[in-house]
């Protein structure tokens, strides 16, 4: 249960839920200060002892000057320009050229539940008792600005959501140049900071380093949240592990340029800042207008990184994702991209779909190349009209034929982009982001449409809505295959070009919102050259994201492992693809390819007609297995057990909410010869329950290997690889890239 305790003198707010306490006090000058953020503690009438002692700039100054430097304080929403020299939360340009805003306490209100954020994705509460929101109203009367700090404390999972709203209450025009969503000053820096980094086809690799004095952080300036750095940061106590110890996780619900940063200052304090990247950002606020920042979510865990991840998973799965697909097991689909790339025809497509149907697959997804002059990536983007030479009966005809097979039909689009060789570009050459008199950089032969302009979004909406109305479409894969360059809008005056990056992403959100409200039953999957926009902002609109263009199962193990730090299994698009793998040339067994893809939305990315009969039978069995277990896998509690970044083996498991069932995946990169028995210790089970452990066998049934107490499975580790009769290190070595799935079912609770 969440609480917001208010103590009037000194004015103090204690936000508390099942795991966390977060305490703010208003200092004598009106600045809100951070007193405590950590494991839940009892409330008390006076927390003044937590204020700490003021640190002077120098002895001489302390003697001569009675003001306490702000840099010795832990502040909730600091501004540079007075005596806080650290990285700050806000910078507000006023007409006289000053950027200082002293946002001092004015009033507060407490709201049941959680208010929606205007035009931005955010977590939500369905019932008022799920959460409570504190709004701290701060004012700078000289600038004429109101700044509202929103803190929503969710009853469960140690989660706290923060955002900030500015209102221009004065007569002058203001310009925000920095407006972070979250600032948190912690009293020490005894942490490792963890981030998720990578590149195309190797997204979200975890990195960890000790906090050191000065700045450390990650960011994007690409216009999308990016393959390179994810809008996420965690602080872990040095001895914390996957399963125990304190972790603070920070995640930004935003898909554009971001900054996530920690600064360790002269006092050893750590300042965490998260929000829209202030570089190349500004936002004009006219008198009477307002600006809303994106939301940042913080979770506190005293159960290690897995505890942090479970809190993010649950919150994002149940209170960020929306619509009928939120709680529904995801359809098992087949996508033609890796099988055909642009070489498609209705005949080819239907052949793939028919075979997929025979194997029990539920949906066919037609990828790139079906529209306009799009016979390669050189032309056609922007012309969302089916190409008659590819699809004589259009998308409508094809979708009806696929539906007649007894499958759902899904379609690929890339609405934010245009090829210069397209009817759209020829009609509206000024609709792209481009700096006047400079060349527009082409990536993959395409330009970025200026989604900061409502008329551009309207036009694309018109084409897509027509298509969706006319055809039987159950799923959309919304791709985005390049980052932004030459960010400049022909529709804005010179002094407002700093708004374009943010306005662009607001345009993307607006189009999503329109489409999902008009077509609520369509399942959207977001994609950006694989996982270049795998962020919480996207999940508000699209319940799942294509995790990576790298479909090699061994690579996917790593990518999905890293992704699981923040994002739920139900959000991770994961497909079995052909061997040799398109990205790596590696040959991973069909068994392991499926065993990795099970821990995601599950589907196929190949032409099943090219498989042997035996392999097709395996596909049918794996599809049946996933249908039987996807509810548990996609909606249970996920735990990482062994990291593919640290050794030859990797393992993870999902446990049902009532702890009566579990599925374990254990993976081995290289085959090790003549090794001692390796055991796997599980977690998250009921220690007093007895579980039967079985291995799904090739014929679709499961072979029982024994019954064990939960405490044995968790502490002794009875799952042991060489104990299994069908894997004999000498007679039948498993070979490289092998894996096992174990099913656990509670039989008797004591």
For residue 19, give every residue at least 6 positions away whose Cβ sits within 8 Å of its Cβ, in sequence order, or none: 39, 40, 157, 158, 300, 301, 302, 311
Looking at the Cβ atoms of 368 and 746, the one nearer to ligand DGJ is 368
Q: Which residue is nearest to ligand DGJ (CB)?
A: 368
Distance, CA of 494 to CA of 439 (rounded, Å): 18
Q: Which of 71, 76, 362, 367 binds ligand DGJ (CB under 6 A)?
A: 367
Residue 584 Cβ vs ligand DGJ, minimum distance, rounded to whole Å: 16
Residue 527 Cβ vs ligand DGJ, minimum distance, rounded to whole Å: 5
Residue 336 Cβ vs ligand DGJ, minimum distance, rounded to whole Å: 10
Distance, CA of 606 to CA of 160 (rounded, Å): 42
User: Binding string, 441-480, against ligand DGJ, x = CB under 6 A?
Assistant: --------------------------------------x-
Looking at the Cβ atoms of 333 and 527, the one nearer to ligand DGJ is 527
Examine residue 529 and tell whether it contacts ligand DGJ (CB under 6 A): yes
CB under 6 A: which stretch of 323-331, 488-496, 527-535, 674-682 binds ligand DGJ? Answer: 527-535
Looking at the Cβ atoms of 78 and 562, the one nearer to ligand DGJ is 562
Pairing relationship of beta strands 637-642 and 90-93 according to DSSP bridges = unpaired
Looking at the Cβ atoms of 329 and 530, the one nearer to ligand DGJ is 530
Bridge partner list, 704 = 694
Give, as ranges, the residues between 403 and 432 that touch ligand DGJ (CB under 6 A): 412
Residue 321 Cβ vs ligand DGJ, minimum distance, rounded to whole Å: 21
Distance, CA of 638 to CA of 568 (rounded, Å): 8
Examine residue 203 and tell whether it contacts ligand DGJ (CB under 6 A): no
Looking at the Cβ atoms of 344 and 608, the one nearer to ligand DGJ is 344
Q: Encoding tokens for residue 339? A: 């099988």
Looking at the Cβ atoms of 530 and 696, the one nearer to ligand DGJ is 530
Residue 344 Cβ vs ligand DGJ, minimum distance, rounded to whole Å: 11
DSSP-based three-state secondary structure for 594: helix
Catalytic position from the list 302, 367, 421, 549: 549
Judged by CB under 6 A, the number of residues near ligand DGJ is 11
Q: Positive or negative CA dihedral for 706, 710, 711, 717?
A: positive
Distance, CA of 284 to CA of 281 (rounded, Å): 10
Q: Using an 8 Å Cβ cutoff, are 145 and 139 in contact?
A: yes
Phi, psi angles (nearest 5°) of residue 353 = -65, -40
DSSP-based three-state secondary structure for 87: coil
Residue 575 Cβ vs ligand DGJ, minimum distance, rounded to whole Å: 9
Catalytic position from the list 84, 185, 383, 479: 479
Q: Which of 331, 530, 537, 636 binds ligand DGJ (CB under 6 A)?
A: 530
Q: Is 549 a catalytic residue?
A: yes
Distance, CA of 602 to CA of 479 (rounded, Å): 18
Q: Which of 258, 283, 524, 546 binds ligand DGJ (CB under 6 A)?
A: 546
Q: Is residue 324 exposed (0-12), middle (13-18) or buried (19+ Cβ within 10 Å)?
A: exposed
Q: Encoding tokens for residue 750? A: 């004591």
Looking at the Cβ atoms of 284 and 338, the one nearer to ligand DGJ is 338
Q: Using an 8 Å Cβ cutoff, are 145 and 54 in contact?
A: no
Bridge partner list, 409 = 364
Residue 410 Cβ vs ligand DGJ, minimum distance, rounded to whole Å: 12
Residue count of the chain: 750
Distance, CA of 575 to CA of 525 (rounded, Å): 13
CB under 6 A: which stretch of 196-204, 345-353, 523-531, 704-712 binds ligand DGJ? Answer: 523-531
Q: Is 479 a catalytic residue?
A: yes
Distance, CA of 249 to CA of 567 (rounded, Å): 12
CB under 6 A: which stretch of 320-328, 526-534, 630-638, 640-648 binds ligand DGJ? Answer: 526-534
Distance, CA of 137 to CA of 150 (rounded, Å): 9
Residue 550 Cβ vs ligand DGJ, minimum distance, rounded to whole Å: 10
Q: Which of 124, 283, 337, 509 binds ligand DGJ (CB under 6 A)?
A: 337
Q: Which of 549, 552, 595, 661 binds ligand DGJ (CB under 6 A)?
A: 549
Distance, CA of 597 to CA of 589 (rounded, Å): 12
Looking at the Cβ atoms of 367 and 450, the one nearer to ligand DGJ is 367
Looking at the Cβ atoms of 256 and 530, the one nearer to ligand DGJ is 530
Q: Which of 368, 525, 535, 607 binds ligand DGJ (CB under 6 A)?
A: 368
Q: Which of 138, 527, 571, 619 binds ligand DGJ (CB under 6 A)?
A: 527
CB under 6 A: which stretch of 300-308, 525-533, 669-677, 696-704 binds ligand DGJ? Answer: 525-533
Distance, CA of 520 to CA of 514 (rounded, Å): 10
Q: Is residue 188 exposed (0-12), middle (13-18) or buried (19+ Cβ within 10 Å)?
A: exposed
Q: Is residue 489 exposed (0-12), middle (13-18) or buried (19+ Cβ within 10 Å)?
A: buried
Looking at the Cβ atoms of 425 and 638, the one nearer to ligand DGJ is 425
Residue 585 Cβ vs ligand DGJ, minimum distance, rounded to whole Å: 18
DSSP-based three-state secondary structure for 376: coil
Q: Using an 8 Å Cβ cutoff, are 111 and 135 in contact?
A: yes
Q: Encoding tokens for residue 80? A: 């540079």
Could you report how far apart the first and last alpha carbons of the chain are, in Å? 29
Residue 485 Cβ vs ligand DGJ, minimum distance, rounded to whole Å: 18
Looking at the Cβ atoms of 145 and 398, the one nearer to ligand DGJ is 398
Q: Which of 292, 336, 481, 583 binds ligand DGJ (CB under 6 A)?
A: 481
Residue 433 Cβ vs ligand DGJ, minimum distance, rounded to whole Å: 20
Q: Positive or negative CA dihedral for 568, 364, 538, 552?
A: positive
User: Binding string, 727-746, against ligand DGJ, x = CB under 6 A?
Assistant: --------------------
Q: Using an 8 Å Cβ cutoff, are 640 and 631 in contact?
A: no
Q: Using an 8 Å Cβ cutoff, are 215 and 87 in contact?
A: yes
What residues line the site for ligand DGJ (CB under 6 A)?
337, 367-368, 412, 479, 481, 527, 529-530, 546, 549
Catalytic residue numbers read 479, 549
């Amino acid at each position: 249960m969440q609480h917001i305790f208010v103590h009037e003198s000194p004015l103090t707010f204690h936000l508390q839920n099942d795991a966390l306490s977060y305490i703010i006090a208003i200092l004598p000058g009106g600045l809100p200060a951070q007193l405590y953020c950590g494991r839940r503690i009892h409330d008390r009438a006076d927390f003044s002892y937590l204020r700490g002692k003021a640190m002077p700039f120098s002895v001489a100054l302390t003697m001569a000057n009675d003001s306490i430097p702000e840099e010795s304080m832990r502040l909730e929403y600091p501004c540079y320009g007075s005596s806080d020299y650290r990285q700050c939360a806000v910078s507000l340009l006023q007409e006289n050229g000053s950027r200082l805003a002293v946002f001092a306490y004015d009033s507060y209100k407490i709201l049941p539940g959680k208010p929606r954020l205007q035009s931005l994705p955010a977590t939500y509460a369905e019932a008022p008792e799920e959460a409570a929101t504190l709004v701290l109203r701060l004012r700078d009367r000289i600038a004429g600005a109101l700044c509202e700090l929103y803190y929503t404390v969710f009853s469960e999972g140690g989660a706290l959501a923060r955002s900030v709203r500015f209102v221009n209450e004065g007569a002058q025009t203001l310009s925000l140049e920095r407006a972070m969503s979250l600032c948190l000053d912690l009293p020490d820096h005894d942490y490792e900071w963890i981030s998720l980094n990578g590149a195309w086809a190797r997204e979200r690799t975890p990195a960890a380093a000790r906090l050191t004095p000065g700045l450390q952080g990650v960011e994007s300036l690409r216009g999308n949240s990016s393959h390179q750095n994810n809008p996420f940061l965690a602080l872990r106590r040095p001895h914390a592990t996957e399963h125990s110890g304190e972790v603070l996780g920070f995640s930004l619900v935003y898909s554009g340029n971001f900054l996530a940063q920690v600064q360790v200052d002269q006092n050893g304090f750590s300042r965490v800042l998260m929000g829209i990247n202030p570089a190349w950002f500004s936002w004009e606020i006219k008198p009477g207008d307002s600006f809303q920042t994106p939301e940042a979510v913080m979770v506190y865990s005293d159960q290690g990184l897995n505890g942090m991840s479970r809190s993010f998973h649950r919150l994002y799965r149940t209170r960020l994702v929306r619509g009928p697909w939120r709680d529904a097991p995801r359809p098992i689909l087949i996508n033609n991209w890796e099988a055909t790339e642009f070489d498609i025809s209705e005949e080819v497509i239907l052949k793939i779909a028919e075979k997929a149907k025979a194997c029990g697959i539920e949906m066919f997804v037609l990828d790139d190349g079906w529209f306009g002059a799009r016979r390669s990536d050189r032309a056609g983007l922007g012309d969302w009209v089916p190409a008659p030479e590819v699809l004589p009966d259009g998308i409508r005809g094809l979708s009806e034929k696929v539906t007649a097979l007894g499958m759902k039909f899904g379609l690929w689009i890339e609405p934010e982009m245009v090829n210069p060789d397209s009817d759209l570009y020829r009609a509206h050459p000024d609709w792209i982001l481009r700096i006047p008199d400079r060349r527009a950089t082409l990536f993959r032969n395409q330009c970025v449409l200026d989604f900061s302009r409502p008329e551009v979004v309207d036009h694309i909406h018109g084409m897509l809505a027509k298509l969706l109305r006319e055809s039987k479409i159950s799923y959309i894969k919304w791709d985005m295959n390049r980052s932004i360059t030459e960010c400049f809008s022909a529709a804005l005056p010179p002094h407002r070009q700093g708004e374009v990056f943010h306005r662009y992403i607001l345009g993307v959100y607006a189009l999503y919102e329109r489409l999902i409200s008009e077509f609520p039953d369509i399942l959207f999957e977001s994609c950006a050259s694989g996982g270049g926009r795998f962020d919480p902002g996207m999940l508000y609109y699209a319940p799942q994201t294509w995790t990576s263009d790298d479909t090699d199962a061994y690579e996917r193990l790593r990518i999905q492992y890293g992704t699981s730090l923040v994002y739920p299994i139900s959000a991770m698009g994961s497909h079995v693809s052909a061997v040799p793998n398109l990205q790596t040339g590696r040959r991973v067994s069909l068994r392991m390819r499926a065993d990795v893809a099970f821990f995601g939305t599950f589907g196929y990315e190949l032409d099943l007609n090219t498989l042997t009969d035996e392999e097709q039978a395996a596909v049918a069995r794996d599809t049946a297995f996933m249908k039987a277990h996807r509810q548990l896998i996609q909606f249970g509690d996920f735990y990482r057990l062994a990291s593919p970044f640290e050794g030859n083996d990797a393992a993870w498991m999902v446990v049902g909410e009532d702890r009566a069932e579990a599925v374990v995946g254990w993976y081995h990169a290289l085959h090790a010869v003549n090794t001692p028995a390796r055991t796997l210790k599980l977690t998250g089970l009921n220690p007093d329950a007895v579980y039967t452990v079985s291995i799904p066998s090739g014929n679709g049934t499961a072979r029982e290997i024994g019954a064990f107490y939960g405490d044995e499975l968790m502490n002794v580790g009875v799952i042991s690889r060489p104990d299994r009769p069908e894997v004999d290190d000498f007679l039948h070595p498993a070979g490289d890239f092998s894996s096992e799935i174990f099913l656990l079912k509670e039989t008797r609770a004591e």
